[in-house]
A and B are shown apart, each in its own frame.
Chain A
């Protein structure tokens, strides 16, 4: 799949932002006044910034409001609802902390649930797609949720929560790579089933339908991004999880914590790049590619 920068930025940043909102809503940290203001501004910049970035890849962003209509069947529509609901509820909750110094626990819990629910709907947009066997798996939501929770805890400065969650997220990450590499082969979809021609012999793509490229090849058969897969995996794992864990084991300082967040973010971008670039869409089989 084509690793569109807008979607990589969106899923990474909004995942972090909603993760932070989750821990804020849960009351694990309940800052008030200016401190609360800074935490909420960071969370909203990430969550809303990510959502705005996601509209950049729309052909007609002026019609984006229509995306709220099909929540009965569409995970993308559900994501629209969940994100707006989470942002509104958490804004009210945040206003209580910032301006009145009071924590309305029930509002926080609802906001936390909606925040993490938004991350779930994002992940389901990918996990529902059967045509991409690497994504069509429980580990896709597990990865998005664990990343969001770990990154959110890291941003919140909750080291005792962030440490085990980063380790868990890193483990899930490694599992998605190892298991994901063979999912296309195990899916049962191959050039023989794609063409229905496999009964009498071995099928080979002889001639493509067009001499140049097309939308399908650009969007779904993006192979350039896979070239440095192994190196990027090492970078994603070390920078996203390894280094932040080491930095947090050192005596606490705001400098080190900020560094840990930056390393985590860089690793997150590398991981998300691979999530798209390495995903094989079965339409590639029609072109004898993957």
Chain B
């Protein structure tokens, strides 16, 4: 059913700390691994060892440069996967009912046996969270590791999405963003977590914690003001050579 369910009280999602992410892509690899070996069709790779490898991924890490008006530029690593939006446009456009949002926890999923591979849901998603699998010809997307988080065959510490479990920096957090007292909600409140493309009206559940401002090192060098500035005009023989060459036609 591609009509959206009424908003669920439980909203499972991710909180991604852009201040902490080191851009190692471990989440990308663990996501690809888990979702190739477990639920649903495996994630295809075309020409994996050739000149033009192309593959399906449910999570990708971009890197951005922020250039402030003053000072050095800052590099931010930016993991991006499905945001499990409350008003998910990818769900309502689906003609077959393959794309749906779970009423109980808000996870957006694709029923692959109903998917006709028309690609319209990927068109509707502003975030590029859905990718058509070239081998299976069905739409693939982040499942929030629905086959891990409720899986009682796994040790309790593994009942989180693979990307969260693997992140060596602790930049990814999983929890219920519908509960204002949950750890993830507290984190979002404390750090000013934000929505991507809020103007698109999708109401994403996943939140991003912006990088904290860099510390400014105070000036400790008390001798520097007393030192002579280094001259940039050469002296002696080099100085004579510089003047002589400059006097030639075409010299500066």
Could you tell me which A residues sit within 8 Å of B by CB distance? 1, 57-61, 63-64, 66-70, 72-77, 80, 125, 128-132, 187-189, 191, 193-197, 199-210, 212-216, 219-220, 281-283, 286-287
Check B63–A73 contact: CB distance below 8 A. no
Are B55 and A283 in contact, CB atoms less than 8 angstroms apart? no
Interface size range of chain B in the complex: 35 or more
Chain B residues in 8 Å Cβ range of A73 = 2-4, 91-94
Pair B62/A205 contact, Cβ less than 8 Å: yes
Contact check, A207 vs B63: say whether CB atoms are below 8 A apart.
Answer: yes
CA distance A195 to B127 in the complex (A): 10
A74/B93 in contact, CB under 8 A? yes
Chain A nearest CB from B120 CB (Å) reads: 6
| With contact pairs A70-B2, A130-B201, A219-B122 given, residues A200 and B68 touching in the complex (Cβ less than 8 Å) | yes
Contact A216 B128 (CB under 8 A): yes
Q: B115: which A residues are within 8 A, CB to CB?
A: 59-60, 63
Q: Does B137 touch A at the CB level, under 8 Å?
A: yes
Neighbouring A residues of B120 by C-beta, 8 Å: 76, 125
- With A70-B97, A125-B120, A131-B126 known to touch, is A60 a contact of B2 (CB < 8 Å)? no
A129 contacts B96, C-beta separation under 8 Å: no
CA distance A283 to B93 in the complex (A): 18
Please name all residues of chain A whose beta carbon is closer than 8 Å to the beta carbon of B122 when the two chains form the complex.
Answer: 215-216, 219
Interface string of B8-23 (1 = CB under 8 A from A): 0000000000100000
Cβ-neighbour of A70 out of B89, B94, B124, B200 (below 8 A): B94
Q: Is A195 a contact partner of B78 (Cβ separation < 8 A)?
A: yes
Q: Confirm or deny: B152 has a beta carbon within 8 angstroms of a beta carbon on chain A.
A: no
Contact between B199 and A187, CB atoms less than 8 A apart: yes
CB of B107 closer than 8 Å to a CB of A: no
B225 contacts partner chain A, Cβ-Cβ < 8 Å: no
Asked whether any CB of chain A lies closer than 8 Å to the CB of B37, the reply is no
Residue of A60, A201, A219, A220 near B116 (CB, 8 A) is: A60
Q: Are A214 and B54 in contact (CB under 8 A)?
A: yes
Contact of B94 among A61, A74, A215 (CB under 8 A): A74
